[in-house]
Amino acid sequence: MDCIFCKIIKGEIPSTKVYEDEKILAFKDINPMAPVHVLVIPKEHIPSCDGITAQNSAVVAHIFENIPEIAKKCGCTNGYRVITNCGDDAKQSVKHLHFHILGGKSLPENMG
């Protein structure tokens, strides 16, 4: 499958990893929108939020169980934002489920 994030998981494309275990990987976004901009992804290929089911949702819970520690470790000491883009209207550019962690500064209120 021609998926950039699957290639990052396999080590075929380099990334700056900040957390990894058997189910998930977190790495720095190549185009940071904030001082801290990390992507957290499942190692299992799930295309987007639309692909989350009762069969695979445990990995999503696992991601959220680890997000506070990842955010803290990366320097989000005063809060952070978690975002996932799903589909064309949201401008999802990589079709592998990922959660952006943004922080390290006071973020703008407007998200729309």
Residues near ligand DGP (CB under 6 A) are 4, 13, 15, 27-31, 39, 85, 91-94
Say if CB 10 and CB 45 are below 8 A apart.
Answer: no
To ligand DGP, the closest distance from the beta carbon of 16 in angstroms equals 7
45 is catalytic: no
Dist. CA 76–CA 81, nearest whole Å: 10
Task: Check if the beta carbon of residue 34 is closer than 8 Å to that of residue 104.
Answer: yes
Q: How far is the CB of 44 from ligand DGP (least distance, A)?
A: 17
Q: What are phi and psi of 88, to 5 degrees?
A: -65, -45
Phi-psi region of 76 (alpha: psi -120 to 50; beta: other; left: phi over 0): beta
Q: Which is nearer to ligand DGP, 46 or 54 (CB)?
A: 46
Residue 87 beta carbon to ligand DGP: minimum distance, rounded to whole angstroms? 10
Indicate which residue of 37, 62, 96, 98 is catalytic: 98
For the annotated catalytic residues, the residue numbers are 98
